[in-house]
Structure 1
Amino acid sequence: MIFKASKRSGGRQLGSHLLKTEENEHVEIHEVSGFISDTVMGAMNEAYAAARGTKCKQYLFSMSLSPPAHESVRIEVFEKVIGDIEERLGLTGQPRVIVFHEKEGRRHCHAVWSRINAETMTAIDMPFFKNKLQALAKEVYLENGWKMPRGFENPQLRDHRNFSLDEWQQAKRACIDPRELRGAVIECYRQADNAKSFAAALEERGLFLARGDRRGFVAVTTDGDVYSLSRIIPDKKADIAARLGDSSKLMSVAETRERIATEIAPRLSTYIAEAKRIAHRNMEPLIAKREALKVQHQAERQAFDKSITARWNEEQRIRASRLRKGIAGAWDFLTGRYFKIRKQNDMEAKFARERDSHERHAMIHAQHKDRQALQELIKESRRREAERILGLYRDAAKFRRMREGEAERDRNGRTRDGRSPSPKPRDRGLDLG
């Protein structure tokens, strides 16, 4: 299970993210405990109010728990892991909020704690929490028999295409798949011997090598977005500089953007816009099917929860009818029959809760399978459209190199005294006579 954790402030923004239904197909508020309010936003406001009595700025501890993509993980597993996290980080007993998100046929969990101890009015310190969570994540993989990511086995084998949140949103705005972008940059870097070959390979993918204002080497997209190569390429900065040379010889970001605006963008804008329109049109049926599937699954869950509640109430009524009242009830209490029936009722209620949980999990698991099958079609459509746009980038790069070659030949064709050579007779084709 992959953990992402941070100390943070901004309770209202976090609460809005937890309740966001635009990007998540299903949002389930699993628990709001330790707060007076029973709503997510109310809990965030309480945590902020408690922090006002202290000097703590980052009064929340936020975590996301993401299991492997194709594993069906029960709610009880998430609860156990959250309990282990609390024990290791000293958060046991702290007010918390647990919310489940589902999208693209996968479910992940968000857990948020208040760091403020109400008795001492101090923030709970969590030294080395990232190292502790890293060790716990490995244990969770081993306990559940999941295939451990290569990055856990050896940090040198981690997937370098993983973007940070800011990088993901930046690439998302540029209509580029962040993983494909990062993988493409690393592939170009591995195959390049110097800055010139690296820049040529990048241009075939719609990226342009430039000199950053604060960083040595950056890549600029046709939309003008800037990506730091030192944060994408896994090598050290010194190794990157040794392979690519002095970054001061490159154009600045401003000069590169000007070049894109004057040379590249006019040719690409029309074609890329048309490619995006085609991609949008091809995606419309799949998006409509996704929305229909979302509505269908929500209706199925509501109907299931309604039937489960009705069955639970009926079973509770039957269990309650076993406890006699009046004189008979007093006699049962004196003879111990009351306690036997009470124990039986508690056991049946426990088994009923487990049965309901298993049945609901099986229903959600079946829905995830349907949604994952649709997601494979969406991924394939996106891949085809991405290849189409990359083809446009490659064509533009070839055209630019061809034009630069013509200009270079024109310069080399001048005589040593600076005069242009006499024009050659025009080639009118093959003489068949």
Structure 2
Amino acid sequence: MIVKASQRSGAKQLGLHLLKTEENEHVEIHEVSGFMSDDLMGAMKEAHALSLGTKCKQYLFSVSLNPPSTESVRPEVFEHACNMIEERLGLTGQPRMIVFHEKEGRRHAHAVWSRIDTETMTAKSLPFFKQKLNGIAKELYLENGWSMPDGFRDPKLRDPRNFTLDEWQQAKRAQLDPRELKATVQDCWNRSDNGAAFAKALEERGLFLAQGDRRGHVAMTIDGEVFALSRLIGKKGKEVTAKLGDPQSVRSVADTARYIGETIAPRLSRYISEAKRVASNAMKPLNEQRQNMKGQHQQERKLLSDKQQQRHLTEQQARSARVRTGAKGVWDILTGRYFKVRKQNEMEAHFSLQRDRAQRHDLVSTQLKERQALQSQIVAQRERSARQLLGLYRDASQYRRVMREGHFERESRDQSRSSAPRGPELGR
């Protein structure tokens, strides 16, 4: 269980954040203890009012408890973690609040303690609390048999899936198959009668006719790859010149690169807008399904809560009816029957509480599995859209440089070419 904490002030802001339903699909106030008030915001106001009698500015200790996303964690595990924190950090007996949040199929908890000791009117000192919490987190992983993250075993080990967007590796563009390129150029050659027709046929297939560095004809791809035309079609330079004309009559490689940039860049801007629109449309049904699922889950939990509340009242009345009053009650005390009935009622009340907790945990676990299945679809769609947009943004940036500089950057392309399998070299 990942445990993060901070000493802070701003009770009202923290309370509003914990109750925020815009970011969290489900918010459950699990415990408010040690305060006069029994609601979260009232307890936050008490903590702030109490701090005014001291010089303490950071009068709250806020902790977030994040178990593995694949585990179904009972409320008792969160309570046990909070008790460990209290014991290790010297917060035993301090007022606390526990709130459960559910978001994107994951359940985590927030615990908040008041640091102010009402007897001494001083703040509880929390030295080295980050190191202590790190030790507690490791113990929780071991106690519950959860797979411990690599970062706990060795801080140098990090999951690259947790990198930021800038650190995320961009999708590499697929390499052009030289055999397909050669067949395409030969087809354009056979179907063309002159240089103008040949150049037009090449552009229809994303290729461009240009003058090479050695004053020969070359074919250029939109990525800046330059290939000797005579090698592609298997003809001598004189035969190529005879059909296409003087190589100096066509653009140079630099001018062709600039022309490609001026032609392709505006189209890429439209492609980016189209990709965003497609991504938004693809997410709409998933978002609608998420909202419908949220409402359905809330309704199911309310129905269970109402049934449990009604059953609790019925069972409480039955237990109360066992306790006789008046002369019979005095007789029960004298004979010891009253104490047996009280013990029976206490045991039944305890088991009823455990039963209700188990029922709610089963319902929440089932709903989390449904939500996680939907979240996997949402994540997959987001990743597909992100890969597409990243590729388009990369291409647009490259072509803007082409328009400014008149040539393509070759370094990144050469690196990708060296790491990817290629067909036979065609020459330039």
For normalisation by structure 1, the TM-score amounts to 0.69
Q: Secondary structure, in 3 states, of the residue corresponding to 1:155?
A: coil
Tell me by how many angstroms 1:403 deviates.
Answer: 4.4
Measured against aligned partners, the alpha-carbon deviations of 1:264-320 in whole angstroms (never above 9, x if no partner) come to: 998866543432222122111111111111110111011101111111221222222
| Residue of structure 1 in register with 2:138 after alignment | 138
Residue 73 of structure 1 aligns with an amino acid whose one-letter code is V
Given that residues 32 and 98 in structure 2 are in contact (C-alpha distance below 8 angstroms), is that contact kept between their aligned partners in structure 1?
A: yes
d(CA) in 2 for partners of 1:408 and 1:313?
A: 77
| Residue of structure 2 in register with 1:369 after alignment | 369
Residue 369 of structure 2 aligns with an amino acid whose one-letter code is K
Given that residues 152 and 158 in structure 1 are in contact (C-alpha distance below 8 angstroms), is that contact kept between their aligned partners in structure 2?
A: no
Given that residues 265 and 399 in structure 2 are in contact (C-alpha distance below 8 angstroms), is that contact kept between their aligned partners in structure 1?
A: no
Superposed CA RMSD = 2.4
Given that residues 401 and 408 in structure 2 are in contact (C-alpha distance below 8 angstroms), is that contact kept between their aligned partners in structure 1?
A: no
Given that residues 265 and 400 in structure 2 are in contact (C-alpha distance below 8 angstroms), is that contact kept between their aligned partners in structure 1?
A: no
Tell me by how many angstroms 1:397 deviates.
Answer: 3.7
Cα separation, partners in 2 of 1:353 and 1:381, compared to 1, 3 Å: same
| Residue of structure 1 in register with 2:229 after alignment | none
Q: Secondary structure, in 3 states, of the residue corresponding to 1:151?
A: helix
Q: Secondary structure, in 3 states, of the residue corresponding to 1:31?
A: strand
Structure 2 matches for 1:255-266, cutoff 5 A?
A: none
Alignment gaps of 5+ in structure 1: 163-177, 189-263, 410-433
d(CA) in 1 for partners of 2:80 and 2:376?
A: 31
Residue 110 of structure 1 aligns with an amino acid whose one-letter code is H
Structure 2 matches for 1:373-388, cutoff 5 A?
A: 373-388=373-388
Measured against aligned partners, the alpha-carbon deviations of 1:169-194 in whole angstroms (never above 9, x if no partner) come to: xxxxxxxxx64433339x99xxxxxx
Given that residues 402 and 408 in structure 2 are in contact (C-alpha distance below 8 angstroms), is that contact kept between their aligned partners in structure 1?
A: no
Structure 2 matches for 1:280-295, cutoff 5 A?
A: 280-295=280-295
d(CA) in 1 for partners of 2:160 and 2:376?
A: 23
Cα separation, partners in 2 of 1:37 and 1:326, compared to 1, 3 Å: closer
Tell me by how many angstroms 1:92 deviates.
Answer: 1.1
Residue 399 of structure 1 pairs with residue 399 of structure 2: yes
d(CA) in 1 for partners of 2:314 and 2:42?
A: 34
How many residues matched? Answer: 318
- Higher relative contact order, structure no. (Cα contacts within 8 Å, ≥ 6 residues apart): 2
d(CA) in 2 for partners of 1:23 and 1:80?
A: 27
| Residue of structure 2 in register with 1:390 after alignment | 390
d(CA) in 2 for partners of 1:9 and 1:326?
A: 54
Residue 321 of structure 1 pairs with residue 321 of structure 2: yes
d(CA) in 2 for partners of 1:269 and 1:63?
A: 45
d(CA) in 2 for partners of 1:9 and 1:276?
A: 41
Cα separation, partners in 2 of 1:54 and 1:156, compared to 1, 3 Å: same
| Residue of structure 2 in register with 1:308 after alignment | 308
Alignment gaps of 5+ in structure 2: 173-263, 410-428
Tell me by how many angstroms 1:99 deviates.
Answer: 0.7
Q: Secondary structure, in 3 states, of the residue corresponding to 1:112?
A: strand
Structure 2 matches for 1:187-202, cutoff 5 A?
A: none
Given that residues 161 and 182 in structure 1 are in contact (C-alpha distance below 8 angstroms), is that contact kept between their aligned partners in structure 2?
A: no
d(CA) in 2 for partners of 1:21 and 1:283?
A: 21
| Residue of structure 2 in register with 1:112 after alignment | 112
Cα separation, partners in 2 of 1:22 and 1:408, compared to 1, 3 Å: closer
Given the alignment, which residue of 163, 166, 170 partners 1:181? 166
| Residue of structure 2 in register with 1:6 after alignment | 6
Given that residues 5 and 130 in structure 1 are in contact (C-alpha distance below 8 angstroms), is that contact kept between their aligned partners in structure 2?
A: yes
| Residue of structure 1 in register with 2:298 after alignment | 298
Cα separation, partners in 2 of 1:360 and 1:114, compared to 1, 3 Å: same
| Residue of structure 2 in register with 1:332 after alignment | 332
d(CA) in 1 for partners of 2:265 and 2:37?
A: 53
Residue 86 of structure 1 aligns with an amino acid whose one-letter code is E
Cα separation, partners in 2 of 1:45 and 1:329, compared to 1, 3 Å: closer
Tell me by how many angstroms 1:396 deviates.
Answer: 1.7
Residue 80 of structure 1 pairs with residue 65 of structure 2: no
* Between 394-403 and 323-332, the greater mean CA deviation after superposition: 394-403
Residue 84 of structure 1 aligns with an amino acid whose one-letter code is M
For normalisation by structure 2, the TM-score amounts to 0.70
Residue 16 of structure 1 aligns with an amino acid whose one-letter code is L
Given that residues 3 and 63 in structure 1 are in contact (C-alpha distance below 8 angstroms), is that contact kept between their aligned partners in structure 2?
A: yes
Tell me by how many angstroms 1:122 deviates.
Answer: 1.4
Q: Secondary structure, in 3 states, of the residue corresponding to 1:183?
A: coil
d(CA) in 2 for partners of 1:274 and 1:155?
A: 42
Given that residues 65 and 110 in structure 1 are in contact (C-alpha distance below 8 angstroms), is that contact kept between their aligned partners in structure 2?
A: yes
Given that residues 161 and 180 in structure 1 are in contact (C-alpha distance below 8 angstroms), is that contact kept between their aligned partners in structure 2?
A: no
Tell me by how many angstroms 1:118 deviates.
Answer: 1.7
d(CA) in 2 for partners of 1:93 and 1:152?
A: 30
d(CA) in 2 for partners of 1:299 and 1:109?
A: 22
Residue 27 of structure 1 aligns with an amino acid whose one-letter code is V
| Residue of structure 2 in register with 1:31 after alignment | 31
Cα separation, partners in 2 of 1:354 and 1:407, compared to 1, 3 Å: closer
